[in-house]
Amino acid sequence: MRFFLRKIAGLLVSAVVASFVVFAFLAVLPGDPAEVALGTNATPDAVAALRHEFGTDRPLVVQYLDWGRGLLHGDFGTSYVTHDLIGPRITDRLGVTCWLAAGGMLVAVLLALPAGVLAAAWHRRAAGTVLSALSQAGIAVPAFLAGILLVYVFAVRAGALPAGGYTPLADDPGEWARHLVLPCLSLGLVQGAVLTRYVRSAVLTVLHQDFLRTARAKGRRRRAALWRHGLPNAAVPVLTVLGLQLSTLLVGAVVVERVFVVPGLGDLLLQGVADRDLLLVQGVVLVLVVAVLVVNVLTDLLYHLADPRLRSR
């Protein structure tokens, strides 16, 4: 229990530090949002007035505390560029990105578990080497490139799936799924290739452990011993990698959204960069970083639950 509390406290501290870093990073920069918004021909009076309206004429500490207080209520502030609330825009997009990351994870796990276990079980055979080589090649392909290739095969040549766009789940579940297949595949195939290597090495390590030999000596078949004793033990290191991968997937979704024109957080973030909408960028980056932090802590906790040897500590 103390372990859990300590982890949660650590998460809170990290989240506060993250908000500070993100704020400081974008606040200390040269350039004034009011000047940017009004262009180069603005009169000093107009700039001062807008600065006052934005609140950027106040001391930085006050600005940070104000922004931070808003965040606690889910208020990300009002955009300097579009003049609407940032919070709802983020929550609108967050769901899309989460679907993408979750779908990508599903594909990766469905691919990597069998492939990794087989690659380990067959590691002395040609088939195992082929699987290893395939995963090695898969790692070298960036997700957005996989996306472009998948669009070519399934949208351009086969015409079976849409090349891009998005339909909300509530509007039409069938279309929603059809639009998510290719983005999730492009995220998942690449992550799956990475994960395969970790699964393979985890299973290989377990294969050489004494308890597996004991199980075989007791008369269990190789396959049964692997299922009963090997895989649960191999699961622990794999779980950690899985958590790390989920954060990679969240960030990878930013790029894949661009390939498939999916209106997620990444799309919003890039729009913010193009408009130099710093408050929007600040908000989205913070959401993504906190998501990564939360996933990391959850992984730690899961890791702890999965491995009884760690619980006594």
Partner 1 sequence: MRGRYGLALTVGGTLVALVLAAALLSLLWTPYDPVRVDAAHRLAGPGGAHLLGTDQFGRDVASRLMTGARTTVFVGVVAVGSAVLLGVPTGIAAGMSRGVLGGLLMRVGDFLLAFPALLLAIMLAAVYGTSTGTAMVAIGIASAPGFARVSRAATLRVMAAEYVDAARLARRGRWSVALRHVLPNIRDVLIVQTSVAFATAVLAEAALSYLGLGTPPPTPSWGRMLLDSQELLFSRPELCLWPGLAVAAAVLGLNLFGDGLRDRFDPTLEGVR
Q: How far apart are CA 250 and CA 245, in angstroms?
A: 9
Which residue lies nearer to partner 1 by CB, 148 or 306?
148
Q: How far is the CB of 142 from partner 1 (least distance, A)?
A: 5
87 or 132, CB closer to partner 1? 132
Nearer to partner 1, 50 or 285 (CB): 285
- For the bound state, the minimum distance from the C-beta of residue 46 to partner 1, rounded and expressed in Å, comes to 23
Distances in whole angstroms, Cα of residue 176 to Cα of each of 61, 150, 162, 183: 44, 18, 11, 12
Contacts with partner 1, residue ranges (CB under 8 A)? 14, 17-18, 21-22, 25-26, 29, 31, 123, 136-137, 139-142, 144-145, 148-149, 151-152, 156, 163, 197, 201, 204-205, 247-248, 251, 254-255, 258-259, 269-270, 272-273, 276, 278, 281, 285, 288-289, 292-293, 296
**Residue reference for tokens 């990351």:** 101
Pick the closer one to partner 1 by CB: 169 or 301: 301
DSSP structure class, residue 160: -
Shortest Å distance, C-beta 129 to partner 1 = 8
* Closest approach of partner 1 to the CB of residue 293, in Å: 5
Rounded CA separation 45/34 (Å) = 11
> In this structure, are residues 242 and 248 in contact, taking their beta carbons and an 8 Å threshold?
no
How far apart are CB 118 and partner 1 at their closest, in Å? 16
Residue 63, CA distances (Å) to 95, 102, 276, 287 in order: 29, 35, 19, 19
How far apart, in Å, are the Cα atoms of 302 and each of 15, 24, 72, 214, 307? 20, 33, 27, 28, 9
